[in-house]
């Protein structure tokens, strides 16, 4: 009977899914596509904005450290970006809290920083990622972050604090200056309330603090070799921490998540880099030709039609990297975007899902 009802309701709206009708009534009414409504907007730290999102009933929560993908419309175009929720994963009201730093070239982060208001609706994908705390919890935990890399480890810290975690925690965060640290007062409050939590901020640019190094870590948490360490930050910090852990042969106790800016600045004339066709496992050196030509030279036979950009037969998904539209000259470094292979050329490393 349920099957019959399902068939009838599907047939009624064919060829369009039911959601394409529901979303016209209210964007959050959809059954399959998940959306979230922004309920609160707070601009606390300099250059950052904190959003509270109320997700649709499809939302099944996140594990502290994971990320979500949101979709935002800017000037008619939908852009998707990944952010790590900063709230504890035990939050009862099912809300999601995002703290977003406005990066200098960050289209979405700047847009949200300037324009986010309660009532705004964004697309939402289920939480994903393997950078998260294990169950059962480790006995000792080191959380190291830099800049906007604070978000996943902040969620971890809040989760542990909520749980009444008894083990030792070091929370070490690097930033430009105190006013740039999001949730600084709350972090300090957590440290005050929980004797087992040590929260440390470092501002190397102000010269009072050095960059990350062994001595620093040893001084703050001499027990760190027996801890599990979670690290997220800019490349320099990531490298410095890795160097220390590898020298101590603690590589397997260090868990990290890269965060890269989607808008990598590239020189359009560059015909360098690796071209990966991840659907077929083929890798080639970028020759500067169109993606279609390069795929064919690499022995693949993707579908194509007009070879002049009008029929959209060769559209394929670019997983990552920057491509240049040869008709418009436009550069595109958004991940997971459908692009036309016959009029796109790779700029640097590119991954195409064919």
Partner 1 sequence: MAILTETTEGPLVLSVEQVEEIGRELDALRARITEDLGAGDREYIYNVIRAQRGFEIAGRGLLYLGFLPPFWLAGVAALSISKILDNMEIGHNVMHGQWDWMREPTLNSRVFEWDTVCPGDQWRHSHNYMHHTYTNILDMDRDIGYGILRVDEAQSWNVLRLGNPLYAFILMVAFEWGVMGHDLEVENIVRGKKSWSEIKTLVKGQMRKAGRQVLKDYVVFPALTGPLFLSTLTANFTANIVRNLWTFSIIFCGHFPTGVQTFTQEECAEETQGEWYVRQMLGSANIKGSKLFHIMSGNLSHQIEHHLFPDLPANRYPEIAPEVKALCEKHGLPYNTGRFAKQIGSVWGKLFKLALPPFLVKNSQQAGVIVMRRVQPTTASPKEVGV
Cβ neighbour number for residue 159 with a 10 Å cutoff: 21
* Residue 54: CB minimum distance to partner 1, A: 22
* Nearer to partner 1 (CB atom), residue 213 or residue 338: 338
* Nearer to partner 1 (CB atom), residue 90 or residue 328: 328
User: Under a CB-based contact definition with an 8 Å cutoff, are residues 291 and 344 in contact?
Assistant: yes
Is residue 80 left, alpha or beta, with left meaning phi > 0 and alpha meaning psi from -120 to 50?
Answer: beta
The angle, 0 to 180 degrees and rounded to 10, between the axes of the packed helices 184-193 and 150-163 is 30
d(CA 76, CA 149): 29
Under the rule (CB under 8 A), what is the footprint of partner 1? Answer: 8, 11-12, 14-16, 20-21, 24, 33, 73, 75-80, 305-306, 308-313, 315, 327-328, 334, 337-338, 340
* Nearer to partner 1 (CB atom), residue 123 or residue 168: 123
* Residue 310: CB minimum distance to partner 1, A: 5
* Residue 190: CB minimum distance to partner 1, A: 39
d(CA 284, CA 277): 8
Cβ neighbour number for residue 267 with a 10 Å cutoff: 9
* Spatial CA neighbour of 85 closest among 182, 175, 17: 182
* Residue 338: CB minimum distance to partner 1, A: 6
* Nearer to partner 1 (CB atom), residue 24 or residue 117: 24
Q: Which residues contact 18 (CB under 8 A, 6 or more apart)?
A: 9, 10, 31, 32
d(CA 227, CA 144): 12
* Nearer to partner 1 (CB atom), residue 89 or residue 334: 334
* Residue 315: CB minimum distance to partner 1, A: 5
* Residue 49: CB minimum distance to partner 1, A: 21
* Nearer to partner 1 (CB atom), residue 16 or residue 92: 16
Secondary element (H or E) of residue 187: helix 184-193
């Amino acid at each position: 009977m349920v099957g019959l009802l399902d068939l009838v309701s599907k047939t009624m709206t064919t060829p369009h899914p039911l959601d394409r009708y529901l979303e016209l009534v209210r964007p959050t009414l959809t059954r399959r596509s998940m959306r979230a409504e922004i309920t609160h907007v707070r601009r606390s730290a300099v250059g950052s904005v904190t959003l509270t999102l109320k997700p649709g009933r499809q939302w099944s929560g996140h594990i502290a450290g994971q990320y979500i993908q949101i979709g935002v419309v800017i000037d008619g175009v939908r852009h998707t970006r990944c952010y790590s929720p900063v709230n504890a994963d035990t939050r009862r009201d099912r809300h999601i809290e995002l703290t977003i730093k406005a990066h200098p070239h960050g289209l979405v982060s700047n847009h949200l920083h300037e324009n986010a208001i309660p009532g705004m609706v964004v697309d939402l994908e289920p939480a994903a990622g393997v950078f998260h705390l294990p169950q059962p919890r480790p006995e000792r935990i080191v959380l190291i972050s830099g800049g906007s890399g604070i978000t996943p480890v902040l969620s971890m810290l809040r989760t542990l604090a909520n749980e009444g975690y008894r083990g030792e925690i070091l929370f070490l965060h690097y930033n430009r200056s105190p006013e740039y640290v999001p949730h600084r007062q709350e972090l300090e409050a957590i440290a005050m309330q929980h004797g087992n939590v040590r929260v440390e901020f470092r501002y190397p640019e102000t010269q009072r603090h050095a960059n990350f190094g062994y001595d620093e870590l040893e001084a703050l948490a001499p027990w760190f070799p027996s801890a599990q360490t979670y690290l997220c930050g800019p490349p320099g910090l990531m490298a410095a921490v890795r160097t220390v852990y590898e020298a101590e042969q603690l590589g397997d106790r260090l868990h990290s998540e890269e965060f890269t800016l989607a808008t990598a600045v590239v020189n359009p004339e560059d015909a360098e880099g690796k071209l990966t066709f991840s659907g077929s496992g083929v890798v080639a050196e970028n020759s500067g030709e169109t993606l279609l030509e390069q795929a064919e030279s690499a022995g693949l036979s993707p579908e194509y039609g007009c070879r002049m950009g009008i029929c959209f037969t060769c559209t394929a998904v670019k997983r990552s990297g920057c491509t240049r539209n040869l008709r418009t000259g436009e550069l595109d470094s958004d991940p997971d975007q459908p692009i036309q292979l016959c009029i796109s050329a790779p700029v640097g490393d590119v991954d195409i899902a064919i």
